[in-house]
A = this chain, B = another copy of it.
Amino acid sequence: MRIGALEAGGTKMVCAVGDENGKINERVTFPTKTPATTMPDIFAWFQEREIEALGIGCFGPLDLNKKSLKYGHITSTPKVSWRDFDIVGYFNDLDIPVGFDTDVNASCLGEAAWGCTKDVDSSIYITVGTGIGVGIMVENRLLHGLTHPEAGHILVSRAPNDDYPGVCPYHREPFFCLEGMASGPAITGRWGLSGDELKNRPEVWGLEAFYLSQALMNYIVTLSPKRIVLGGGVMKQKQLFPLIREKTVALINGYVPLPDPEFFIVPPALGDDQGIMGAIKLALIQTQTNLP
C-alpha cells in the first residue's frame, strides 16, 4: 500500500510516502508559509505519488470531533493564516481515507506502533522543545475528549531560587505552567544561552528536571502510563534522563508502584521519525477501523 504521511509543523511540513510497516520510501520538506502558498505544493506532491491513504499529524489546537462541522480544522492557533484552516478537507479531492490527530499524539502512536512503546498499550509521549506537547495513548487508543491534551500547560511549583517569570503568556505568576518554565525558550530566556552552550552547567539540568519531574508525577497519578517517552530538542541533553528518573521516583515516594525507572522513563526509539511514522499509522488505522 502507498501511504502518505504529513507532519505539519509550525516551521516545516514533512511529507512522506511509506508502507504498512512504517517504512518511509520517499520524503520531502516544505517550509510552512501560508495555506495558500504551502498547501498546493503538498497536495500536488501526494497526488503525483498516487497515495491510497493519508495520515496527518498537525500542530494544534485542532478540531478532532468527527461529529463537528469543523472536524479536520486547525482552530485557534496564533499562526493567523492557518486559523480555521480545513487541512483534512483540503485533501478531499484525493478521495482517500485521511487520518488526523495532533503532532504529539502522532508521535505517541509512532513509538507505540514501531518504537519504544510497542510492548505496552498505555503510554505517553512528551516533546520538550520550542513548546512542550504531550501525546497520550490509553489502552491502545489515543486520548481525545472535549478537544485533545494540552498537557504541556500543566502547573508546576516554581523553585524557591528561580525568579524566571516563564515564557507562557497564559500562565504566569503566581501559577506557572511547565511549558512556561521548562521549554527550550524558557531555558534560553532564563540563562541567556542555548541548551548546547549550557551543556556542562549542572544547575541548568537540575532545574529542568525539577520542573519536568513534577509534571511526570502528575501524569503518572492521573493517567497511570506503562511507559513515558521524552523526546524533542531539549531531551537531546541525555544527562537529563537520570535526573528526571531520580526526581520523579522521589516525588511519587512509593505511593504507586513503578516499573524500573530505566525502562519507564525513556528516550524515543525512532530518532526524529516518530511523528511522520505516526502519521503513517494514523492513515493505516483510518483505512481499517475506528480504533484507536
Residue ranges of A at the interface with B (Cβ–Cβ < 8 Å): 61, 76, 122, 134, 136, 138-139, 141, 143-155, 157, 160, 170-171, 174-175, 214, 217-219, 221-226, 251-259
Contact = CB atoms under 8 A, between A and B. Distances in A.
A227 B166 CA distance: 30
Contacts of A136: 222
A258 B254 CA distance: 35
A76 B258 CA distance: 13
A152 B255 CA distance: 11
Contact of A155 (B144, B214, B225, B258): B214
Nearest to A168: B255
Contacts of A141: 138-139, 141
The 9 closest A-B pairs by CB, nearest first: A145-B224, A122-B145, A170-B255, A151-B222, A157-B157, A170-B253, A150-B221, A146-B224, A153-B221
Contact of A175 (B144, B160, B174, B214): B214
B150 A145 contact: no
Nearest to A121: B145
- Interface of A: prevailing SS: loop
Contacts of A171: 251, 253, 255
22 contacts: A61-B256, A76-B257, A136-B222, A138-B141, A138-B145, A139-B141, A144-B224, A145-B224, A146-B226, A146-B259, A149-B221, A150-B256, A151-B222, A154-B218, A155-B217, A157-B175, A160-B174, A171-B251, A171-B255, A175-B251, A219-B222, A222-B222
A229 B214 CA distance: 25
Contacts of A61: 256
Nearest to A160: B174
A136 B136 CA distance: 14
Contact of A151 (B145, B146, B221, B259): B221
Contacts of A157: 155, 157, 174-175
Nearest to A218: B154
A143 B138 contact: yes
